Amino acid sequence: MVYMNGTDSTSQNPQVQFTEGGPYTVKLRVRNASFADSTVKIEYIWAGIPGLWTGETSTDWYTTTNWDDWRDPTNLINVRIPGSAPNWPYYIGDFTIGTQCKTITLEDATSQMTITGNLIIP
């Protein structure tokens, strides 16, 4: 994460750009002349593109660090598997479009996915 437009961690309205996908924890500090307090929100902001397979960690579909936003897709998420992934997704069992993800797109001729069971397209 980098601060933008001259803001920093002490700015009233900091502007940030997320440089990596995944969860970010936020800490808010407030103070005046006689009082100071803070609160922490763990994994409060999620950056990244939902459903974009990066394959950075392994071939396991359910390893969150394989996804750009560090979240396993749901039935509402369109999945994209680019040809540039260092590891291809491997799914154990039956894979149902509309359950494991909304749609799935192999982005180019080199993109791959392995399913050990049936691919079910309702």
Residue range 21-31, pLDDT digits in tens: 888 888 888 88
Round the average pLDDT of the chain to a whole number and report it.
92
CB-neighbour burial class of residue 87 (10 A; exposed 0-12, middle 13-18, buried 19+): middle
> How far is Cα 82 from Cα 52, in angstroms, rounded to an integer?
8
* Joined tokens for residue 70: 């560090």
Q: What is the pLDDT of residues 39-83, one digit of tens each?
A: 999 988 888 999 999 999 999 999 999 999 999 999 999 999 999
Per-residue pLDDT, 76: 97
Give the number of C-alpha atoms closer than 13 A to the C-alpha of residue 31, restricted to the C-beta side.
Answer: 7
Per-residue pLDDT, 18: 85
